[in-house]
Amino acid sequence: MVRVTDATPSALDLPGWRHVYSGKVRDLYVPADTAEGAQPARMLVVASDRVSAFDHVLDPGIPGKGVLLTTLSLWWFDRLAGADGGRSIPNHLAASHTLTRGADGEANTADDVQRLIPDAVTGRAMVVKSLDMQPIECVVRGYLTGSGWAEYQADGTVCGIPLPAGLSNGDRLPEPIYTPAFKAPMGEHDENISFERTVELVGADRAEELRDLSLEIYARAARTAEGRGVILADTKFEFGVDENGVMTLADEVLTSDSSRYWDAAAWESGTTPEERMASFDKQIVRDWLAANWDKQGEPPALPQDVVERTAARYRELLDLLTSA
Ligand code: ATP
Ligand code: MG
């Protein structure tokens, strides 16, 4: 749960809300009347246009990104709540819960929840249930790329999981693998950990629940994306436990920040890794930085064409997925 312990100055002055935390991309607010040290029932998560890569927030942001990420998260939450025909995965959206409105004990409707979002952040904010977040980034990989590819070349494994020989950068894995990471405190790098380490951190039952849910959600989402000409190469989920002990999907979900998405047609016909992995995500930013920065000191400003191409690819993904 987010505990209100200090009066962090507001990132934005939002009526009815008080700013308590800013991550690399999102800003968190609690109801303005939350007492010091109290655990609020709900929070406002506002997605900014900030973009991060290699653990740095870059300059400038990507115009419209916060709205795109929020729209995509909301769309996926709805699919995973059963709109895709699968069972309903519990999520942190307040509109999908009955939250009490403090002292009067009255339940909120979806409209009530919508009205809590200040005009200044319409389209890029979600009212969510405040959860006890699990300290694990639940990563699922269906394809070999990025840090996984680097490790595979050196050791034939990805996060310690042995893979068949002879795979190339961008290849589909025989089956999706779960490769959890420890969620590092702000400013530190998340650390890949074994499944056994997650058992030590959260207990065997919770660790298995996180793994099974992650693999299930990945499989469902990858199938949905594939039907729309998009490959979901890998993704990261975050979960929290609600007041009834229910493991609940939180944070952003299946966005172009938390996932690698590729154009399926390019992957089929491409010959070089670059052609095959034509991405709809922030790989454009990562590639530019990798070529133009030695990872010492502050990263350079992103050129306008990189910003525009990234924004365009994010929009394209949203259209491909949601307009079918
Ligand atoms: P990054 O995602 O870039 O690694 P970050 O995770 O530090 O950075 P953001 O994603 O910008 O930061 O901030 C969102 C924060 O809100 C995360 O710490 C996330 O765990 C937390 N969070 C998301 N949903 C909930 C929820 N329902 N209850 C409590 N905390 C939540
Ligand atoms: Mg995050």
Q: What is the pLDDT of residue 1?
A: 43
More confident residue, 282 or 112: 282
Q: What is the mean pLDDT of residues 160-187?
A: 93
Residue that has been written with the tokens 């068949």 in this structure: 164
Q: What is the pLDDT of residue 95?
A: 76
Q: What is the pLDDT of residue 186?
A: 67
Is residue 31 a contact partner of residue 18, using CB atoms and an 8 Å limit? yes
Look at the alpha carbons of 186, 191, 192, 198 in this order and tell me if their dihedral is positive or negative: negative
Q: Give the Cβ contact number of residue 285 at 10 Å.
A: 21
What pLDDT, in 10s, does the model give residues 298-313? 999 999 999 999 999 9
| pLDDT over 80 at 87, yes or no | yes
Is residue 321 a contact partner of residue 228, using CB atoms and an 8 Å limit? yes
Look up residue 6 and give its two tokens.
Answer: 């200090």
Residue 286 Cβ inside 6 Å of ligand 1? The answer reads no
What pLDDT, in 10s, does the model give residues 125-135? 999 999 999 99
Ligand nearest to the CA of residue 240, numbered in listed order: 1
**What burial class does residue 65 get, using C-beta atoms within 10 Å of its C-beta: 0-12 exposed, 13-18 middle, 19+ buried?**
buried
What pLDDT, in 10s, does the model give residues 56-84? 999 999 999 999 999 999 999 999 999 99
Residue 131 Cβ inside 6 Å of ligand 1? The answer reads yes
Residue 24 Cβ inside 6 Å of ligand 1? The answer reads yes
Q: CA of 103: how far to CAs of 7, 33, 301, in Å?
A: 23, 12, 49
Ligand 2 centre from 72 Cα, in Å?
15
ipTM of the prediction: 0.94
Is residue 21 a contact partner of residue 3, using CB atoms and an 8 Å limit? no
Q: What is the pLDDT of residue 98?
A: 52
Residue 235: which residues within 8 A CB-CB, separation 6 or more? 139, 140, 218, 221, 254, 258, 259, 260
Residue whose CB lies within 8 A of the most ligand 1 atoms, among 43, 91, 133, for a mutation test: 133
For residue 2, the surrounding DSSP H or E stretch is: none
In this structure, the residue with its CA closest to atom 1 of ligand 1 is: 24
Q: Which residue ranges form the domains of the chain, and what is each CATH number? A: 2-129 (3.30.200.20), 132-292+309-322 (3.30.470.20)
Q: What is the pLDDT of residue 115?
A: 87
Ligand 1 centre from 288 Cα, in Å?
26
More confident residue, 242 or 189: 242
| pLDDT over 70 at 142, yes or no | yes
Average pLDDT, the chain: 91
Between CA 279 and CA 230 the distance in angstroms is: 9
